[in-house]
Amino acid sequence: MKNILDRNQNKAEEVRSLLRRRNVMMVNIISSPGAGKTTLLERTCEALSARMGIGVIEGDVTTDRDAQRLKKYNIPIVAINTEGGCHLDSHSIYRALENFDLDSIRLLFVENVGNLICPSQFDLGEAFKLAVVSTAEGDDKPAKYPMLFSGARAVILNKTDILPYTNFSMDAFLSDMNVINPRIKIFMTSAVHGEGIREWLEWLGQQLEAYNAG
């Protein structure tokens, strides 16, 4: 396992260096299946695709259904099927980058395979990891899967519109997050209804400005 992670890390640094030279900020989005990653990307592309170059790498075990959902935004998309693999790695990302015109892209999203464990261990060369979790999953996910939440720069708590119909404890969730990563930025959203998306987009724009400034 150490050898695998070492090889992945070496290639991740190549990816990071390449994107830094081309001034492309890559965001690695990680969540459980069904937390709302693709819907969040739809909202983000809807707001930003006319203003800047956006690309997406879609990771999934099989099918390109998530990629098909994003085609309407007329952005470059590369789908990676892992054929049973539980995560993307830096080698697959490096090969996927060959299919993009990086000079025309400023923001590149990776929608990782739906999984809170394996994707958290593998650096893809991203600028930062974004954790997405939904109220339907329960409030204990940060405590049960701390590697993701301790390493992410931001977390999106999605599906807040159904909060009254769950046993999700906001106090417990925020308390665990404060212990695991007190500096993390937390957004409360309903990607389906658009709640909280403006705040997410504003913060994302600030991250992009800081990245462009070096």
- Summarize the confidence of residues 81-107 as an average pLDDT: 95
Whether pLDDT at 191 is above 90: yes
Domain of 49, in residue numbers: 2-212
Secondary structure element (H or E) that encloses residue 110, with its range: strand 107-111
What is the pLDDT confidence band of residue 5, given thresholds at 50, 70 and 90? confident
Burial class (CB in 10 A: 0-12, 13-18, 19+), 5: middle
In the prediction, which pLDDT does 6 show?
85
- Summarize the confidence of residues 57-73 as an average pLDDT: 95
Q: Kindly report the average pLDDT of the chain as a whole number.
A: 96
State how many domains the chain has: 1
Secondary structure element (H or E) that encloses residue 201, with its range: helix 197-212
Task: List phi, psi (to 5°) of 74.
Answer: 55, 50
In the prediction, which pLDDT does 153 show?
98
Whether pLDDT at 1 is above 80: no
In the prediction, which pLDDT does 26 show?
98
Domain CATH number, residue 114: 3.40.50.300
Secondary structure of 121-138 in HEC code, one letter for each residue: HCCCCCCEEEEEEEHHHC
**Distances from the Cα of 39 to the Cα of 43, 91, 159, angstroms:** 6, 27, 11
- Summarize the confidence of residues 141-145 as an average pLDDT: 97
